[in-house]
A and B are shown apart, each in its own frame.
Chain A
Amino acid sequence: MCGIVGLFIKSPKLEPELGALLATMLEVMSDRGPDSAGFAVYGDGRSDRVKLSLHAPGGADFQAIAATLEGQVGTKVGVTIRSSHAILEVPAERETALRDALGQGYPLVTVVGTGARMEIYKEVGQPADVARRFDLSSMAGTHGVGHTRMATESAITTAGAHPFSTGRDQCLVHNGSLSNHNSLRRTLRRDGVAFGTDNDSEVAAGYLTWRLRQGDSLKRALTSSLDTLDGFYTFVVGTESGFAVLRDPISCKPAVMAETDDYVAFGSEYRALADLPGIARARVWEPEPATVYSWERAA
Chain B
Amino acid sequence: MTAQDLTIDLASTTLRQLNQALHRLAPDTNQRYWRVLNPRGGHALAAGLDAPVKVEIDGHVGYYCAGMNKLATVIVNGNAGVGVAENMMSGLVHVRGDASQAAGATAHGGMLVIDGNASARCGISMKGIDIVVKGSIGHMSAFMGQAGTLTVLGDAGEALGDSLYEARLFVRGSVASLGADCVEKEMRDEHRAELGARLEAAGLAGTVDVAEFRRYGSARQLYNFHIDNVY
**A and B, one complex?**
yes
Let me know if A269 and B41 touch, CB within 8 A. Answer: yes
Interface string of A249-290 (1 = CB under 8 A from B): 111001010000000000001111110000010001110110
Residues in B neighbouring A274, C-beta threshold 8 A = 40-41, 60
Which 10 residue pairs spanning A and B have beta carbons closest together? A270-B41, A271-B41, A274-B40, A270-B60, A286-B119, A274-B41, A286-B100, A251-B120, A269-B62, A269-B41
The complex places the Cα of A138 from the Cα of B189 at a distance, in Å, of 66
Residues in A neighbouring B139, C-beta threshold 8 A = 249, 251, 289
Let me know if B79 and A254 touch, CB within 8 A. Answer: no
The complex places the Cα of A283 from the Cα of B100 at a distance, in Å, of 15
Let me know if B100 and A271 touch, CB within 8 A. Answer: no
Residues in A neighbouring B163, C-beta threshold 8 A = none
The complex places the Cα of A82 from the Cα of B60 at a distance, in Å, of 36
Question: Is B98 part of the binding interface, using a Cβ–Cβ cutoff of 8 Å?
Answer: yes
Question: Is B42 part of the binding interface, using a Cβ–Cβ cutoff of 8 Å?
Answer: yes
Interface string of A227-258 (1 = CB under 8 A from B): 00000000000000000000001110010100
Question: Is B128 part of the binding interface, using a Cβ–Cβ cutoff of 8 Å?
Answer: no
Interface string of B39-75 (1 = CB under 8 A from A): 0111000000000000000011011000000000000
* 9 A-B contact pairs sorted by A residue (CB < 8 Å): A270-B41, A272-B41, A280-B59, A284-B60, A284-B79, A286-B98, A286-B100, A286-B119, A289-B138
Question: Is B82 part of the binding interface, using a Cβ–Cβ cutoff of 8 Å?
Answer: yes
Residues in A neighbouring B138, C-beta threshold 8 A = 251, 288-289
CB distance from A286 to the nearest CB of B (A): 5
Which residue of chain A has its CB nearest to the CB of B99? A286
The complex places the Cα of A256 from the Cα of B100 at a distance, in Å, of 9
Which of A250, A270, A271 is within 8 Å of B79, CB to CB? A270
Which of A250, A254, A280, A288 is within 8 Å of B81, CB to CB? A254
Task: Count residues of chain A with CB under 8 A from any CB of chain B.
Answer: 17
Given contacts A251-B139, A254-B100, 5 further A-B contacts (CB under 8 A): A269-B62, A270-B40, A270-B79, A284-B97, A286-B119
The complex places the Cα of A285 from the Cα of B136 at a distance, in Å, of 13
Interface string of B128-146 (1 = CB under 8 A from A): 0000000000110000000
The complex places the Cα of A271 from the Cα of B60 at a distance, in Å, of 9
Residues in A neighbouring B87, C-beta threshold 8 A = none
Known contacts A251-B120, A284-B60, A271 near B42 by CB under 8 Å: yes
Number of A-B residue pairs, CB cutoff 8 Å, is 44
Question: Is B90 part of the binding interface, using a Cβ–Cβ cutoff of 8 Å?
Answer: no
Residues in A neighbouring B151, C-beta threshold 8 A = none
Residues in B neighbouring A249, C-beta threshold 8 A = 139
Show the binding face of A for B, using Cβ within 8 Å: 249-251, 254, 256, 269-274, 280, 284-286, 288-289
Interface string of B113-136 (1 = CB under 8 A from A): 000000110000000000000000
CB distance from B122 to the nearest CB of A (A): 12
Question: Is B106 part of the binding interface, using a Cβ–Cβ cutoff of 8 Å?
Answer: no
The complex places the Cα of A92 from the Cα of B79 at a distance, in Å, of 47
CB distance from A184 to the nearest CB of B (A): 25
Which residue of chain B has its CB nearest to the CB of A285? B98
CB distance from A119 to the nearest CB of B (A): 29
Residues in B neighbouring A286, C-beta threshold 8 A = 98, 100, 119
Question: Is B101 part of the binding interface, using a Cβ–Cβ cutoff of 8 Å?
Answer: yes
Known contacts A251-B120, A289-B138, A289-B139, A270 near B81 by CB under 8 Å: yes
Let me know if B98 and A270 touch, CB within 8 A. Answer: no
Residues in A neighbouring B42, C-beta threshold 8 A = 271
Known contacts A254-B100, A254-B101, A289-B138, A270 near B62 by CB under 8 Å: yes
The complex places the Cα of A288 from the Cα of B98 at a distance, in Å, of 13
CB distance from A209 to the nearest CB of B (A): 30
CB distance from B98 to the nearest CB of A (A): 7
Let me know if B41 and A254 touch, CB within 8 A. Answer: no
Which residue of chain B has its CB nearest to the CB of A258? B60
The complex places the Cα of A270 from the Cα of B82 at a distance, in Å, of 11
Please provide the chain B residues from 72 to 104 with a CB less than 8 Å away from any CB of chain A in the complex: 79, 81-82, 97-98, 100-101
Known contacts A270-B62, A271-B41, A254 near B120 by CB under 8 Å: no
* Highest count of chain B CB atoms <10 Å: which of A251, A271, A288, A289: A271
Residues in B neighbouring A280, C-beta threshold 8 A = 59
The complex places the Cα of A251 from the Cα of B62 at a distance, in Å, of 17
Which residue of chain B has its CB nearest to the CB of A31? B43
Which residue of chain A has its CB nearest to the CB of B138? A289
The complex places the Cα of A259 from the Cα of B120 at a distance, in Å, of 22
Residues in A neighbouring B40, C-beta threshold 8 A = 270-271, 274
Let me know if B101 and A269 touch, CB within 8 A. Answer: no
The complex places the Cα of A289 from the Cα of B97 at a distance, in Å, of 19
CB distance from A274 to the nearest CB of B (A): 4
The complex places the Cα of A249 from the Cα of B140 at a distance, in Å, of 11
